[in-house]
Amino acid sequence: MKTRFLLLAAIAFLPACGSSVRTLRVSAQGGLAAASIEVDVLPDSPGAQSVPISQYFLPGNAVRAGSNPKVVRFGAGQPATQDISVGGLGKRAVIIAQLPGAHADAPGDSDARRKTIPLSGKSPSGGKLTEVMNVKVSQGGITVEPSN
């Protein structure tokens, strides 16, 4: 009887633990859909958090080459919204966007062109994670929110 109660209690608790992200739905907002830009999704690491974004997309950048990112490309002939699987990225992913114009480099998520998200559990802001998370890339930076 005690075992049955513990099992039922554990099952009841599981949904409250949060869910796992399986897909990122990356969309370029406004004129960025037609711009030739890239958005990389890579496993979280000290290098991904500290590399200056102004250097990250330059040819031969060691952090980009070593992380084997999943790349979303926007521009001529590319859809404004694209889905990518987060399989193989571990527990946290870093999203880095190549945005046109001048932007000041900053470490971690204080740079609007970089966003770190958990792929399971709960988001740091207390919001829920869903199987599909919407990643919106705008001139102002990256926002991530659960899909409906």
Q: Which two tokens stand for residue 34?
A: 């037609």
Q: Quick check: 42 pLDDT over 80? A: yes
Residue keyed to tokens 């009841």: 12
Rounded to an integer, what distance in angstroms lies between the CA atom of residue 91 and that of residue 62? 22
Radius of gyration in angstroms for the set of CA atoms belonging to the chain, rounded to a whole number: 17
How is domain 18-146 classified at the CATH fold level? Immunoglobulin-like (2.60.40)
The pLDDT value recorded for residue 18 is: 52
Q: Are 119 and 62 a contacting pair, CB within 8 Å?
A: no
Angle, vertex CA 45, rays to CA 139 and CA 47, nearest 5: 70
Average pLDDT, integer, range 34-42: 95
* pTM confidence score: 0.85
Q: How confident is the model at residue 5 (pLDDT cuts 50, 70, 90)?
A: very low
Closest C-alpha to 49, from 116, 100, 112, 122 = 116
Q: Which residues contact 143 (CB under 8 A, 6 or more apart)?
A: 115, 135, 136
